[in-house]
């Protein structure tokens, strides 16, 4: 005799269960701490050594001249979010945030500029 | 209940014909019944509603949400899909047989919709007095021809995937038409007539309760006619891309998909009429036509939900396994169940004749 | 190891003067250089001594004037390398496909990328590079001019090997082409069918070739970790561990015990999520969408654990040279254990489903049978081999990370059909859960990383890891500068694709996607 497959009861029970999917974008997922999202650059700690740009696997960091000192500029469209830059930085000037909605219609939005005042440069 | 409304409305249109004047009677009621309710527009809206119910039930069984953006709870999603396909570009490949490729979906759709004429939805047929002895055979034949046209639509597009899909459609439908016909005759035995309206009106107790074995086998044969899991093989996505639909785009694809959806509703409607008592049900207040339609829709949704459940719990069988299920299992069982139904009818007939 | 040294002594006796040199590749792997032509004798001898021996990879290194060819033979649980040299201008050598049929694809790849001609090869067609690549440019040679190549130049043959009707008039050519719903990544398989039965399969891979082996030669070792991680999204932890192990072997660095256990945990988490992905995908191939949705829903807690541990769900970027990059917080360990217990109950349900459901059994039992002899001849690895009764698993044969301290079973099934391969993966998920729970209970304290210098001394090393799909093989050669000299990557699916050709002949078209799913192909890995 054919043994009854356990899927029969399982499927019926699921009609009454809450769905496992979320109604994004009304409900947004919570990401844990330590998530590798958009970079936050603390310009007061930077010493301009350039180790971050040298170690970046995707060549996404460009050292630019900001008021006479060399500071990194992050190109988010090339970045692979590996955070080797944060590891290589001897002063810990690069940190991660929990921002992951980075899609943009223009490339000029996809940079993190080394600015004096705000922590997350010219992002969304 | 429904008989009185049937006679009242019949009386009106008969009176006009008896007048003797040979004018084309553009009877407003008739036009309304054909085009709006319970005719063309109602059938299309019902099809889209049943499509939405199907998708929601399948989604809930698979623990997800289903359509949710277009309209409240996604009710307008099938309409949005249809309109989206209508506005897309229509590509006709180079080497196809033009006439068959272009018109097979539309003719098939019109056959399916035409079959609804013979099914009483709000207590009466769409065109009055269009029922006759043997219209059950006519409806089933129309379904077969419309399915054959779907095969032709795949055969005429010269693509290996379409050809394989079309041959699978033909093989499966040829095989499963036979038990479907045989099982559809079982309620005819019980009711003593081959007319669907008569079978409906003679169901004081739904036949599904009197000959449950025939009902169960009919649902299985229906699952194969409608090409749903586990008999999904003609349009198996992961093997032959889209089967006979592969070369269709734009408007023609919209009509082909609509033809398939109407086929599902038609198959479920035939099951409801033959086995579940059609539009009969308790009338509480107000016009009986409204309540008959409501009961009909409710029973239709029950049948569709059950076929969707069967879809969710099975994998897809191969074509040779599908055929072996038919010839070795379904056909002998359907012959036996027909004989049993005939026996039951002989026993029951003295009781109510 | 004792068996191997005995084999080595006997081999050197047999070869006599033809053997030029032996040395030890790190870590403790034997390398034997022989004269050209003697490689066949050496391989014949090894095969005679061990019938289950198979080829693991064939590496070619450009040494300037000469090209060094290394045949890595997998025998007695370890690797013996037979090396020989051919001159660059006249790069010809005899093929070994008559001795080991599984060397077919490996030789074609070397001839594509380095220009070595293998005489006697049954099917010397292009494998990895596209059809219109110029015939005289071999990318892996150091002096190859690979910038500014005009496209479609020279004697490009069009893809004319795919004729509509083959020589036999009854056969129709159904192309499971680069775009197909059954394939997650593009490759082309031309199936010659008669009615519904497949008679012949012609594969064409190389659609996802990105030239990663050449790209590693232009990046530092630290940057290369992230490059090899992105060869395959699903088995990225295995690639990084394998590369870092090879570099650590060259440097002579020992990583701390806590790092070994953390590497084990992330490797097993990777294995669980990869197997669940495949089982869901297999459900989709046989038309069982409900199974697909359920398994992927139950896979979500594992992705959540990986996100908590490493910062990202799929590409973990957790491993570095000298250990791991982050630590596991103590307060998170009970949460991981609870999720794993829940997953174990769910796997019981799926096990009962696969054993009892009649539609699954009717689509997978007895379909796509690979016998044990064919599995050994074609040198398949991973769950494909273990589903045919071949008991190979790098975690047991040559333990790495913390596997020598953890007890676990190697799952084998003898049927050899698709159902057996799925059941191997199902049971391996439960074994992985047990391994992770043991590792969490016995996690040693201490540092999770040692600092390593940025330059790597000259040397070469071989490293093997059991990726979810089978044995992953890396050969890294360093010349003392900050860039590697040669990185050779042989992925498990590359060894498994020839078995698909063998299995699919004689099956229905409808079974081809199901067989394909049971082999678990990952074409990004295959093509690199």
Domain with residue C505: its CATH number is 1.10.645.10
CB nearest C290 (choices: B61, B160, B161)? B61
In percent, the amount of chain B with pLDDT more than 90 equals 6
Q: Which domain holds residue B225?
A: 2-352
Interchain pair C290, B312: CB under 8 A: yes
The CB density around residue B295, as the number of other CB atoms within 10 Å, is: 22
Q: Which of C180, C357, C362 sits opposite B317 (nearest CB)?
A: C362
Would you say residue B185 has pLDDT above 60? yes
Say how many domains are in chain B.
1
Contact A74, A60 (CB under 8 A): yes
Q: What is the pLDDT of residues C273-285, one digit of tens each?
A: 999 999 988 888 8
C contacts of B164 (beta carbons < 8 Å): 174, 509
Q: CB burial class (10 A; 0-12, 13-18, 19+) of residue C388?
A: buried
Domain boundary among C65, C89, C119: C119
How confident is the model over B31-42, as a mean pLDDT? 79
Tally Cβ neighbours within 10 Å of residue A5: 21
Helix or strand (DSSP H, E) at C190 = strand C188-194
* Residue C55 or B283, more confident: C55
User: Tokens 């008999």, residue?
Assistant: B231
**B13 Cα to chain A: minimum distance (Å):** 47
Show Cβ contacts of residue B238 under 8 Å, excluding neighbours closer than 6 positions: C181, C182, C284, C285, C287, C513
Question: Is C28 in CB contact (< 8 Å) with chain A?
Answer: no
Query: pLDDT for A88-105, tens place per residue?
Result: 888 888 888 888 888 888
Q: Are C370 and C467 in contact (CB under 8 A)?
A: no
Count of other CB atoms within 10 angstroms of residue C159: 11
What radius of gyration, in Å, describes the C-alpha atoms of chain A?
Answer: 22
- The number of distinct structural domains making up chain C is 2
Report if residue C484 sits inside a domain.
Answer: yes
A7: nearest CB among C230, C300, C357: C357
Q: Which domain holds residue C38?
A: 2-119
- Residue C36 half-sphere exposure toward CB, CA atoms < 13 A: 14
What ipTM score was computed for the predicted complex, to two decimals? Answer: 0.84
Q: Of C86, C119, C152, which residue constitutes the final position of a domain?
A: C119
Distance from CA of B314 to the nearest CA of A (A): 9
pLDDT at position A114: 78
CA–CA gap between residue C442 and residue C461 (Å, rounded): 30
- Name beta bridge partners: C22: C32
From the CA of C321, how many Å to the nearest CA of chain A?
12
Is the predicted pLDDT of residue C206 greater than 70, yes or no? yes
pLDDT value, residue C29: 73
Chain B closest-CA separation from residue A13 CA (Å): 8
Question: Is B312's Cβ below 8 Å from some Cβ in C?
Answer: yes
A20 Cβ under 8 Å from any chain B Cβ? yes
Tell me if B173 sits within 8 A of B235, measured CB to CB. Answer: no
Whether residue C355 is found in the same domain as residue C504: yes
Q: Using 50, 70 and 90 to split pLDDT, how confident is the model at C17?
A: low
C157, part of any domain? no
CA gap C237, C241 in Å, rounded: 6
How far is C-alpha C166 from the geometric centre of its chain's CA atoms? 33
Q: How far apart are CA B229 and CA B309, in angstroms?
A: 10
Question: What pLDDT sits at residue C21?
Answer: 66
Neighbouring chains of C at 3+ CB pairs within 8 Å? A, B
Task: Indicate the average pLDDT of chain C.
Answer: 84
Q: What is the DSSP string of C306-319?
A: HHHHHSSSS----E
Is the confidence at residue C428, as pLDDT, over 70? yes
Using 50, 70 and 90 to split pLDDT, how confident is the model at C168?
A: low
pLDDT at B4: 47
The phi, psi pair for B95, rounded to 5°, reads -105, 15
Distance CA B275, CA C84 (A): 80
| Strand partners for C117 | C92
**Residue C472: strand pairing partners:** C465
Is residue C149 domain-resident? no
Nearest Cβ partner for A11 among B64, B65, B312: B312
Tell me the shortest Cα–Cα distance from C376 to chain B, in angstroms: 30
Gap from B329 CA to chain A (nearest CA, Å): 14
Q: Nearest by CB to A7, which of B57, B65, B313?
A: B313
Identify whether C428 is part of a domain.
Answer: yes
d(CA C169, CA C227) in angstroms, rounded, equals 48
Q: Judge contact between C225 and C500, C-beta under 8 A.
A: no
Helix (H, G, I), strand (E, B) or coil at B78: helix
Helix/strand/coil for C491: coil
Q: CB of C236 within 8 A of CB of C315?
A: yes
| First-to-final CA distance of chain C | 32
Residues of B in contact with A20 (CB under 8 A): 63-64
Instruction: With beta carbons less than 8 A apart as the criterion, state whether C246 and C319 touch.
Output: no
List the structure tokens of A100: 């992951």
pLDDT at C513: 81
| pTM of the entire predicted model | 0.87
State residue C161's pLDDT score. 47
Cα C130 to the center of its chain, rounded Å: 22
- Cβ-based contacts of B319 with chain C (< 8 Å): 196, 510
- Could you give the CA distance from residue C110 to residue C58 in angstroms, rounded to a whole number? 8
- In 3D space, the residue among B59, C431, C69 whose CA is nearest the CA of residue B67 turns out to be B59
Give the separation between CA C141 and CA C151, rounded to whole angstroms: 20
More confident call, A21 vs B50: B50
* Length of chain A in terms of residues written: 124
Question: Which of B57, B59, B163, B238 has the highest number of chain C CBs within 10 A, making it the mutation to test binding with C?
Answer: B238
Residue A19's pLDDT band, with cuts at 50, 70 and 90, is confident
Which pLDDT value is given to residue C511? Answer: 82
Chains within contact range of chain A (3+ C-beta pairs < 8 Å): B, C
- Name beta bridge partners: C474: C463, C489
Size (chain B), residues: 353
Q: What's the pLDDT at B26?
A: 61
State both tokens at C32: 């034997």
- Taking only the tens place, the pLDDT of each residue in C432-470 is 999 999 999 988 888 888 988 888 888 888 888 999 998
Cβ of C226 within 8 Å of Cβ of A11? The answer is no
Contacting B residues, span 275-334, partner chain A, CB-CB under 8 Å? 309, 312-313
Q: Contact, C394 vs C465, CB < 8 A?
A: yes
8 A C-beta contact, residue B251 and residue B209: no
The residue ranking higher by pLDDT, C262 or C39, is C262
| Interface B-C: count of C-beta contacts within 8 A | 69
Q: Which residue has the higher pLDDT, A44 or B130?
A: A44
CA distance B120 to B122: 6
Q: Give the helix/strand (H/E) hosting B165.
A: helix B160-191
Given this model, what pLDDT does residue B20 score? 43
| Interhelix angle B98-115/B135-156, nearest 10 degrees | 160
Task: Please list every residue in chain C whose beta carbon sits closer than 8 Å to the beta carbon of residue B238.
Answer: 181-182, 284-285, 287, 513
C404: left (phi over 0), alpha (psi -120 to 50) or beta: alpha
Mapped onto helix, strand or coil, the DSSP state of residue B149 is helix
From the list B156, B184, B152, B143, the residue with the least C-alpha distance to B170 is: B152
List, in order, residues 6 or more apart from B235 with CB less than 8 Å away. Answer: B165, B227, B242, B243, B244, B245
List Cα–Cα distances, C138 to C88, C211, C465, in angstroms.
11, 12, 29
Q: Three-state SS for B291?
A: helix
Contacts of C172 in chain B (CB under 8 A): 160
- Tell me the C-alpha distance between B236 and B243, whole Å: 7
Q: Is A11 on the interface with B (CB under 8 A)?
A: yes
* Sheet of strand C470-478, all strands in order from the earlier edge strand to the far edge: C459-467, C470-478, C484-490
Q: Which two tokens stand for residue B263?
A: 């086929």
State the best of A6, A7, A12, A15 to mutate against chain B, taking most chain B CBs within 10 Å. A15
How far is the C-alpha of C158 from the C-alpha of C154, rounded, in Å? 12
Q: Which residues on B lie below 8 Å from C360 (Cβ)?
A: 315
B65 reaches A (C-beta below 8 A)? yes
> Hunting for tokens 């509603």 — which residue is that?
B49
- Report the pLDDT averaged over residues B17-35: 61
Question: Could you give phi then psi for residue C117, rounded to 5 degrees?
Answer: -95, 130
Task: Tell me if B25 sits within 8 A of B17, measured CB to CB.
Answer: yes
Q: In sequence order, what DSSP letters do the residues of chain A get, joined into one string?
A: -PPPPTHHHHHHHHTTSPPSS--TTTS-PPPPTT---SEEE-GGG-----HHHHH-TT--EEEEEETTEEEEEEETTT-----HHHHH-TT--EEE-S------SSGGGSEE---SS-SSTT--
Domain boundary among C58, C84, C119: C119
CA atoms within 13 A on the CB side of B184: 27
Residue B282 pLDDT exceeds 60: yes
Helix axes B77-86, B250-275, angle to 10 degrees: 140
Q: What is the pLDDT of residues C515-524, one digit of tens each?
A: 888 888 888 8
What pLDDT is attached to residue B17? 47
B141-160 pLDDT, tens per residue? Answer: 998 898 888 888 888 888 77
């Amino acid at each position: 005799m054919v043994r009854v497959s356990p899927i029969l009861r399982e499927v019926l029970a699921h009609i009454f269960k809450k769905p496992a999917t979320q109604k994004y974008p009304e409900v947004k997922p919570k990401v844990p701490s330590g998530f590798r999202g958009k970079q936050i650059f603390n310009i007061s700690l930077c010493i301009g050594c350039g180790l971050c740009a040298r170690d970046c696997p995707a060549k996404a960091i460009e050292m630019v001249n900001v008021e006479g000192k060399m500071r990194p500029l992050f190109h988010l469209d090339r970045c692979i979010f590996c955070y080797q830059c944060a590891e290589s930085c001897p002063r810990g000037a690069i940190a991660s945030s929990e921002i992951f909605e980075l899609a943009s219609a223009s490339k000029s939005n996809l940079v993190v500029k080394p600015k004096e005042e705000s922590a997350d440069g010219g992002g969304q | 209940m429904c008989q009185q409304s049937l006679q009242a409305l019949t009386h009106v249109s008969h009176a006009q014909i008896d007048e003797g004047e040979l004018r084309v009677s553009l009877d407003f009621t008739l036009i309304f019944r054909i085009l709006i309710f319970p005719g063309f527009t109602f059938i299309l809206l019902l099809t889209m509603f049943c499509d939405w119910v199907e998708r929601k039930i399948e989604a809930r069984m698979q623990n997800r949400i289903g359509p949710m953006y277009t309209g409240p709870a996604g009710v307008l999603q099938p309409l949005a899909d249809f309109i989206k396909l209508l506005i897309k570009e229509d590509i006709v490949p180079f080497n196809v047989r033009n006439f068959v490729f272009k018109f097979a979906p539309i003719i098939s759709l019109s056959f399916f919709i035409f079959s609804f004429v013979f099914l009483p939805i709000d207590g009466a047929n769409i065109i009055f007095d269009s029922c006759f002895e043997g219209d059950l055979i006519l409806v089933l034949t129309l379904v077969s021809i419309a399915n054959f046209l779907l095969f032709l639509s795949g055969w005429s597009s010269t693509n290996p995937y379409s050809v394989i899909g079309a041959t699978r459609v033909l093989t499966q439908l040829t095989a499963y038409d036979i038990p479907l016909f045989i099982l559809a005759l079982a309620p005819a035995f019980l009711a003593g007539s081959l007319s669907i309206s008569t079978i409906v009106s003679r169901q004081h107790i739904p036949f599904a309760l009197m000959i449950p074995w025939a009902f169960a086998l009919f649902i299985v044969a229906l699952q194969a006619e409608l090409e749903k899991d586990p008999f999904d093989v003609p349009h198996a996505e992961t093997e032959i891309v889209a089967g006979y639909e592969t070369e269709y785009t734009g408007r023609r694809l919209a009509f082909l998909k609509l033809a398939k959806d109407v086929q599902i509703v038609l198959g479920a409607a035939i099951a409801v009429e033959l086995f579940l008592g059609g539009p009969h049900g308790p009338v509480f207040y107000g016009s009986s036509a409204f309540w008959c339609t409501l009961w009909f829709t409710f029973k239709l949704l029950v049948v569709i939900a059950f076929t969707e459940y069967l879809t969710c719990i099975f994998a897809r069988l191969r074509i040779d396994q599908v055929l072996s299920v038919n010839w070795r299992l379904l056909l002998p069982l359907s012959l036996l169940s027909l004989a049993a139904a005939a026996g039951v009818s002989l026993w029951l007939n003295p009781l109510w004749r | 190891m004792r068996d191997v040294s005995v084999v080595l002594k006997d081999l050197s006796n047999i070869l006599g003067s033809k053997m030029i040199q032996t040395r030890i590749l790190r870590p403790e792997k034997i390398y034997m250089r022989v004269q050209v032509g003697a490689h066949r004798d050496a391989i014949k001898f090894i095969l005679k001594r061990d019938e289950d021996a198979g080829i693991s990879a064939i590496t070619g290194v450009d040494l300037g004037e000469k090209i060094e060819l290394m045949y890595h033979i997998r025998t007695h649980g370890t690797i013996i390398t037979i090396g020989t040299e051919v001159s660059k201008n006249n790069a010809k050598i005899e093929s070994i496909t008559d001795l080991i049929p599984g060397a077919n694809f490996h030789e074609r790849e070397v001839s594509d990328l380095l220009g070595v001609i293998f005489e006697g090869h049954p099917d010397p067609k292009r494998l990895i590079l596209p059809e219109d690549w110029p015939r005289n440019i071999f990318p892996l040679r150091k002096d190859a001019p690979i910038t500014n190549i005009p496209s479609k130049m020279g004697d490009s043959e069009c893809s004319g090997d795919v004729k509509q009707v083959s020589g036999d008039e009854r056969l129709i050519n159904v192309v499971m082409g680069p775009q197909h719903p059954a394939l997650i990544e593009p490759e082309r398989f031309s199936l010659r069918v008669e009615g519904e039965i497949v008679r012949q399969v012609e594969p064409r891979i190389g659609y996802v070739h990105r030239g990663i082996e050449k790209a590693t030669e232009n990046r530092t070792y630290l940057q290369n970790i992230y490059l090899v991680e992105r060869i395959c999204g699903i088995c990225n932890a295995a690639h990084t561990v394998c590369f870092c192990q090879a570099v650590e072997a060259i440097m002579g660095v020992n990583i701390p015990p806590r790092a070994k256990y953390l590497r084990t945990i992330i490797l097993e988490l990777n294995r669980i999520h990869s197997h669940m992905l495949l089982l869901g995908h297999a459900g989709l191939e046989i038309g069982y969408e409900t199974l697909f949705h359920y398994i992927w829903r139950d896979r979500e807690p594992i992705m959540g654990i990986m996100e908590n541990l490493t910062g990202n769900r799929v590409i973990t970027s957790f491993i570095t040279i000298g250990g791991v990059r982050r630590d596991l917080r103590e307060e998170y360990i009970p949460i991981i254990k609870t999720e794993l217990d829940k997953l174990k109950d769910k796997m019981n349900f799926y096990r009962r489903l696969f054993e009892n459901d009649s539609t699954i059994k009717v689509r997978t039992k007895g379909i796509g049978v690979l016998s044990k002899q064919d599995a050994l001849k074609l040198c398949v690895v991973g769950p494909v081999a273990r589903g045919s009764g071949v008991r190979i698993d790098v975690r047991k044969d040559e333990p790495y990370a913390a596997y020598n301290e953890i007890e676990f079973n190697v799952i084998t099934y003898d049927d050899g059909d698709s159902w057996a391969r799925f059941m191997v993966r199902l049971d391996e998920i439960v074994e992985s859960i047990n391994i992770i729970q043991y590792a969490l209970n016995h996690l040693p304290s201490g540092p999770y990383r040692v600092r390593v210098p940025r330059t790597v001394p000259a040397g070469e090393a071989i490293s093997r890891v059991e990726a979810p799909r089978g044995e992953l093989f890396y050969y890294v050669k360093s010349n003392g500068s900050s860039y590697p000299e040669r990185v050779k990557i042989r992925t498990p699916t590359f060894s498994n694709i020839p078995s698909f050709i063998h299995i699919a002949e004689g099956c229905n078209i409808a079974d081809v996607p199901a067989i394909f799913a049971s082999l678990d192909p990952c074409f990004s890995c295959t093509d690199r």
